[in-house]
Amino acid sequence: MTAELVTLAPPATLPDAVARWNSGAMALVPLAGATEPLVMARDTRETLAEYAQPNGVSGRDLIDAVEAAELRGRGGAGFPTGVKMRAVADREGPRTIVANGDEGEPLAVKDRYLMRIRPHLVLDGLLRVADAVAADRAVVYLSDTMSADSVRKALDELGGTPVPIDVMQVPRTYVGGEESSVVRAIDGGPPLPTDKPPRPFESGVGGGPTLVLNVETLARIPGLAAGVKTDSVLLTLTGSVTRPGLYEVPLGRPLRELVEPVGAPVGFLMGGYFAGLLGPRALDIPLGFTELRAEGSGLGCGAVAVLGPGDCPVAAAADVIAYYDRENARQCGPCIRGTAAMAGALRELADGTASDARLEKLQSWSASLRGRGACATLDGACNVAATLLREFPELVAEHRAAPCSRCAALGPTERTAPHIDPESEET
């Protein structure tokens, strides 16, 4: 097994939300519909003097409040936050809490927004949760330099905190923000995933119980403690839309009410690269954790890319899985071979040269490889392959014989992956 760090290089044919936002080409829109902005209340960096700290419940009562509010984590998995808090609070210390702002997903910018613009909101949430679980130590874990500068400046402005807070900056990679990568890095290792169990709440930093919460999750804590509902989500919207940007939108509203596409959308990349593809029916699915999961998709980190009339879902799927093939951490045999094999099959499909046997293999791998990596990267690749085959059967059938008109206009693509069967190798 090798363990190497790879840097992010998003496919040229898909939007890079981070680059667009850094260049000022994306809008910041705090208000959509009837929801009052909870966390996107500013577009310039807040100072401590400007930050209005709300009152509210504290200590163990905050855990009860978080459970009652049914707050779900905003890093991607959507796990109930109160359950994680209680699991750490109920274990013997020393306890560590981590504000996870390492946003490796190329289609999302929300964590950068919060750390660059609302650092005091994030730190307030971090300190409240640290108090609730009686943490001995806190770490803000991130990769974005502007975010690191903003958070360090906020800590200087605070001039001291009840719990010591360190800022740890790591290289930006796709897997660096995975929970076990976070623990491994803080303990001095490379920011790469480890096998589970144990989960960080069982044995994390220094072997103690560790609570890893996404920075958007933490940014919702001060309002929640003061009794404000948390039913909005930060949505990074890219692709074929009139105003790509970062939006705070109410949970439960369909995309049709939130998105202004350029032309009729042919598909959607959901949850960043992770939750796979949906057809145009996505416009009418309520934007929510359970609603999207029930449709075989997911909200993930809240990133949605719209594929417009000039885009091809087959080409998008091929690009995303080629990305996973490049960016996986090269630790697990099934992931190394599986992403390579699926990338190869999809590249053939995009070129109109995939055999029936190859597509049957792709269908089989998209199910059999699930859960066989140390982290969820391989599951993300499986999601993309499975949802392409499920949501776009007619387009896939068209591509079996020849590239569609959109792909044909681009010419033949390079096959970047070796043709190997991940099931035939010892793993």
The footprint of ligand SF4 (CB under 6 A) covers 175, 193, 328-332, 335-336, 373-375, 377-378
Shortest distance, position 187 Cβ to ligand SF4, whole Å = 17
Cβ-based nearer residue to ligand SF4, 161 or 427? 427
**β-strand partners of 138:** 97, 165
Contact 146, 172 (CB under 8 A): no
CB-nearer residue toward ligand SF4: 113 or 324: 324
Q: To the nearest whole angstrom, how small is the minimum distance from the Cβ of residue 394 to ligand SF4? A: 32
* CB nearer ligand SF4, residue 221 or residue 381: 381
CB 278 → ligand SF4: shortest distance, Å?
Answer: 24
Report the C-alpha gap between 125 and 318 in whole angstroms.
39
Q: Which residue is nearest to ligand SF4 (CB)?
A: 373
Q: Which is nearer to ligand SF4, 129 or 346 (CB)?
A: 346
CB of 375 to ligand SF4, least distance (A): 3
Instruction: Provide the minimum distance between the beta carbon of 341 and ligand SF4 in the complex, in angstroms, as a whole number.
Output: 13
User: What is the rounded distance in angstroms from the CA atom of residue 314 to the CA atom of residue 394?
Assistant: 11
Minimum distance between the CB of residue 180 and ligand SF4, rounded to whole angstroms? Answer: 9
Using omega within 30 degrees of 0 as the cis cutoff, is the peptide bond preceding 197 cis? yes
Residue (191 or 265) nearer to ligand SF4, CB: 191
Strand arrangement of the beta sheet that strand 267-270 belongs to: 27-29, 245-250, 232-239, 303-307, 267-270, 277-278
Please, which residue, 239 or 344, has the CB nearer to ligand SF4? 344
| In the complex, minimum distance from the CB of residue 141 to ligand SF4, in angstroms, rounded to a whole number | 18
Q: Which is nearer to ligand SF4, 165 or 336 (CB)?
A: 336
Closest CA relative to residue 265, chosen from 382, 392, 410 = 392
Least Cα distance to 74 among 261, 298, 405 occurs for 298
Min dist CB 110 to ligand SF4, Å, is: 22
DSSP string, 24-50: T-SEEE---TTPPPSS---SS---TTT
- What residue has token string 């890093």? 75
Spatial CA neighbour of 112 closest among 157, 149, 73: 149
Q: How far apart are CA 342 and CA 367, in angstroms?
A: 12
**Rounded Cα–Cα distance for residues 268 and 152 (Å):** 37
Q: How far is the CB of 322 from ligand SF4 (least distance, A)?
A: 14
* CA atoms in the 13 A half-sphere facing the CB of 79: 14
Comparing CB distances to ligand SF4, the nearer of 248 and 379 is 379
Q: What are phi and psi of 177, to 5 degrees?
A: -95, 0
As measured in angstroms, the least distance from the Cβ of 97 to ligand SF4 is 24
CA distances from 336 to 195, 323, 425 (A): 16, 12, 11
Q: Are strands 267-270 and 277-278 parallel, antiparallel or unpaired?
A: antiparallel
Question: Smallest gap, in angstroms, from Cβ of residue 192 to ligand SF4?
Answer: 6
Q: Of 52 and 367, which CB lies nearer to ligand SF4 in the complex structure? A: 367
Residues 6+ apart with CB under 8 A from 405: none
Nearer to ligand SF4, 63 or 275 (CB): 275
Contact present, 263 and 250 (Cβ < 8 Å): no
**E-assigned strand segments in 65-179:** 96-100, 137-142, 165-169
List of E strands, 291-399? 303-307
Which CB sits closer to ligand SF4, 317 or 374? 374
- Compute the radius of gyration of the chain from its Cα atoms: 21
